[in-house]
């Protein structure tokens, strides 16, 4: 639960965050649909919910991950890491439509989806990534 809320801004454990519901720009959903992610998932993502940490400390990254994990778990969604993590797979040559799926990548539990734009993970992967030595959320 948030400590306090002011519009789309909120504080969690006295750390500032922001919530955005819906794509940040009009083309965002079409980019997601065209980057090969729906074929990997077996379903097309229908909307975007964005949490943003307004600070860059380890605690901010961990709280951000927990927010994303809780929401994805509650709504049977995935976590968009907002870029590529420090592990593989990567989509081939950054080409649209050349998406990849990896089960238990780099010894982590869960499924990681890679497109030319970003890494996405299921809830199990996001939880496992949170425990990894290289953990960071791409912000």
- The domain locations on the chain are 4-131
Report the pLDDT value the prediction gives residue 77, as an integer from 0 to 100: 94
Report the pLDDT value the prediction gives residue 95, as an integer from 0 to 100: 54
Token pair of 137 as six digits: 């959320």
Is residue 87 within 8 A of residue 105, CB to CB? The reply is: yes
| Residue recorded with tokens 């720009």 | 25
Question: What is this structure's pTM?
Answer: 0.87
pLDDT digits (tens, 9 = 90+) for 106-115: 899 999 998 8
The answer for residues whose C-beta is within 8 angstroms of residue 26's C-beta and 6 or more apart is: none
pLDDT digits (tens, 9 = 90+) for 25-74: 777 777 777 888 888 899 988 888 999 999 999 999 999 999 999 999 99
The whole-angstrom separation of Cα 27 and Cα 13 is 34
pLDDT digits (tens, 9 = 90+) for 5-24: 999 999 999 999 999 998 88
Report the pLDDT value the prediction gives residue 86, as an integer from 0 to 100: 87
Q: At what angle do helices 58-74 and 123-131 cross, to 10 degrees?
A: 160
Q: Please, is 26 exposed, middle or buried when counting C-beta atoms within 10 Å of its C-beta (0-12, 13-18, 19+)?
A: exposed
């Amino acid at each position: 639960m948030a400590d306090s809320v002011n519009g789309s801004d909120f504080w969690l454990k006295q750390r500032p965050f922001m919530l955005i519901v819906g794509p940040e720009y009009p083309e965002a959903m079409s980019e997601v649909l065209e980057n090969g992610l729906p074929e990997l998932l077996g379903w097309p993502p229908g909307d975007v919910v964005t949490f943003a940490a307004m600070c860059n400390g380890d605690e901010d990254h961990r709280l951000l991950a927990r927010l994303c994990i809780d929401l994805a778990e509650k709504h049977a969604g995935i976590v968009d890491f907002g870029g590529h993590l420090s592990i593989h797979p990567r989509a081939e040559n950054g080409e649209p439509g050349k998406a990849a799926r990896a089960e238990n990548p780099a010894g982590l539990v869960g499924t990681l989806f890679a497109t030319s734009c970003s890494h996405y993970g299921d809830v199990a992967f996001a939880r496992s990534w949170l425990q990894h030595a290289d953990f960071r959320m791409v912000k």
